[in-house]
Amino acid sequence: MPAPERAMVMDEADVGRALTRIAHEIVERNKGTQGLVVVGIHTRGVPLARRLAAKLAGIEGVQVPTGALDVAMYRDDIGLRPPTATRDTDLPFDLAGTVVVLVDDVLYTGRTIRAALDALTDFGRPRAIQLAVLVDRGHRELPLRADYVGKNLPTAPDGVVRVLLSETDGRDGVLVTEGAEPAGDGHPGGATSPSRKARTR
Amino acid sequence: MKEHLLSAGDLDAGDITRILDTAAHLAKVTDRAIKKVPTLRGRTVCNLFFEDSTRTRISFELAAKRLSADVINFTAKGSSVSKGESLKDTAITLEAMGVDAIVIRHGASGAPWRLAEWVDAVVVNAGDGTHEHPTQALLDLYTMRQHFPSFAGLRVAIVGDVLHSRVARSNVLALRTMGAEVTLVAPPTLLPARVETWGAGVSYDLDAVLPKQDVVMLLRMQLERQRAGFFPSLREYARLYGLDARRLEAMPEHAIVMHPGPMNRGVEIAAEVADSIERSVIADQVANGISVRMALLYLLLGGPAVREAPGVAVPATFEEGAL
């Protein structure tokens, strides 16, 4: 069986441009960066959040606090699959009264975001939470939408979207595979494997 | 992960590393304003304690509660055990009430293994007789890892009543798995038969061993389990095997002092050593116990209940981010 076609839908320059545009949209919508914090969801949301914060600093000249959020303990499928590996949650600021820009690589079913909203609530009561994603691939299972989207990517439900970032994968880019990948096509777990947003049930 | 946690020897290096890593992440829950995550909502953990315990039972209770599990505390005193109910009938009763995990402490070595044969629930050994105490070993390893980058070649002396110690056996098993060099130090009468098969060094001379150690772990003199005179007097034991200020000086500058508690001050450890802020990590061990037990409960109970759902294919590994 031939391997399904893998298309590069965003290259390094596209990822950079999308983040620059999102940063400008964040500044425009919030009339600056006053009271703003940027929180990335593990794994690839974390480097994306740092990059967004750097771009915001470039536009406004002010450092925006960044944090990292692990949602493993808040997932809605605990007990349905082997336990997810945990990561460090690091929110070195008081959330009360802030506007949180939550950052993830791919928005798909929306379940990760729901878990992230619950997790954030346990740390405090932000004034508002906004969502930024590099790719929105559709197929939502919950009534959620993103405020800032790098690229809308209509996909087949059994397709796979892979976001690669230099911090975790050695290079930047977004790959799409239509249809299920054949077995043995390398999807090791762990921090260094490319992110796969695949339907699991 | 295994289905139960009975012996520290059942865990390979990957399991231990995973438990310690998870514990490090979960430790942060304890630092938060809301010290609770919803992870094990709807799960029930039963602490089945046939022996007295302060820290282990409270530690397991707090760990389960911080993960939002429901906790039942069962102690032999005041239960039907004092009317003569057997372990098996007690276990079957608990099972019928629908507990998901049983944390058992029992005076008989091997009791958790028997229990695991009778029930579907996850069984965690919280100390069986003079045999094993795997969660203590894991929290001890966690505490060591806070001070030393690697277990490979780490020199650990375990000093005292090895014969009656479940802590010593579990620690030797886990430390050997991780590549540490363990030396057991005790008078010959307090070493078990065939101790040479444990894969640890053995010495009768504490003063000769101390200058070479990274970690010195004192064991509690378990007078309540001793049925014969294993040494002439407590005073003589303290003089030969107790860690006092003079012996602390003989240890390397970086070496840490551990004790599983409860301590016999003035016997295996002098009060001034136990209270030494720079060298003693005894209070850290207690705090770390909660994080390590949270990690264990999460890893043991956070997965699918395989036995209740035959025919449901469960992936062997789960890939992060695939939600």
pLDDT in tens, A71-106: 999 999 998 989 999 999 999 999 999 999 999 999
Q: Which regions of chain B are under pLDDT 70?
A: 1-2, 305-323
Average pLDDT over residues A107-121: 96
Q: What is the pLDDT of residue B305?
A: 66
Give the distance from residue B322's alpha carbon to the nearest chain A alpha carbon, in angstroms: 5
**Which chain A residue shows the shortest CA-CA distance from B21?**
A86
Q: Which one is predicted more confidently, B76 or A24?
A: A24
- Partners of B30 on chain A (C-beta within 8 Å) are none
Is B83 labeled as catalytic in the residue annotation? Answer: yes
Distances (CA, A) of B25 to A171, A196, B2, B30, B211: 28, 23, 21, 10, 34
Helix (H) or strand (E) holding B101: strand B101-106
> HSE of B242 in the Cβ direction (CA atoms, 13 Å)?
23
Structure tokens at A109: 């079913």
CB B167 within 8 A of CB B174: no
All residues at 6 or more sequence positions from B308 whose CB lies less than 8 Å from its CB, including other chains: B120
Q: Please report which helix (H) or strand (E) contains residue B182, including its range.
A: strand B181-185
What pLDDT is stored for residue A196 in this prediction?
47
Specify whether B56 is catalytic.
yes
Active-site residue, from B66, B106, B133, B247: B133
Question: What average pLDDT does this structure show over A165-194?
Answer: 66
Q: A92 exposed, middle or buried (CB, 10 Å; 0-12, 13-18, 19+)?
A: exposed
Residues B70-75: contacts with CB under 8 Å, at least 24 apart: B70/B42, B70/B43, B70/B44, B70/B45, B71/B44, B71/B45, B71/B46, B71/B47, B72/B44, B72/B45, B72/B46, B72/B47, B72/B99, B73/B46, B73/B47, B73/B49, B74/B46, B74/B47, B74/B48, B74/B49, B75/B49, B75/B50
What domains lie within chain B, and their CATH numbers?
8-133+285-308 (3.40.50.1370), 147-280 (3.40.50.1370)
Sign of CA dihedral B95, B101, B106, B108: positive
CATH architecture, range A12-81+88-155:
3-Layer(aba) Sandwich (3.40)
Per-residue pLDDT at A182 exceeds 90: no
Banded model confidence at residue A188, pLDDT cuts 50, 70, 90: very low
**A200: chain B residues, CB-CB within 8 Å:** 322-323
A181 against A15, higher pLDDT: A15
Preceding amide of A82 cis, omega within 30: no
- Give the integer Cα–Cα distance in Å for B68 and B298: 11
> Looking at the predicted structure, is the pLDDT value of residue A1 above 50?
yes
Rounded to whole angstroms, how far apart are CA atoms A97 and A88? 23
Q: Does A184 touch chain B (CB under 8 A)?
A: no
Question: Cis (ω within 30 of 0) for the bond into B135?
Answer: no
CB B135 within 8 A of CB B56: yes
Q: Which residue from B24, B301, B319 is facing A187, i.e. has the nearest CB?
A: B319
In this prediction, residue B313 carries a pLDDT of 38
Tokens of B72: 């039942």
Look up residue B190 and give its DSSP letter.
Answer: G
Q: List CB contacts (< 8 A) between A73 and chain B.
A: 26, 29, 37-39, 67, 298
Q: Please check whether residue A60 touches B, CB under 8 A.
A: no
A&B contacts, CB < 8 Å? 100
DSSP B194: T
Taking each helix axis as running N to C, give the angle between helix B13-30 and helix B282-301, from 0 to 180 degrees, rounded to the nearest 10: 110
- Coil, helix or strand for B160? coil
Alpha carbon distance B242, B237 (integer Å) = 7
From chain B, the residues in CB contact with A88 under 8 A are: 24-25, 28
Nearest residue to B185 (alpha-carbon basis) of B213, B215, B221, B159: B159
What distance in Å separates the CA atoms of residue A157 and residue B247, rounded to the nearest whole number?
67
Residue of B33, B302, B322 lying closest to A196 (CB–CB): B322
Of B93, B89, B155, B167, give the one whose Cα is nearest residue B130.
B167
Helix (H) or strand (E) holding B246: helix B245-250
The per-residue pLDDT for A157 is: 87
The pLDDT, as a whole number, for residue A189 is 36
Domain boundaries, chain A: 12-81+88-155
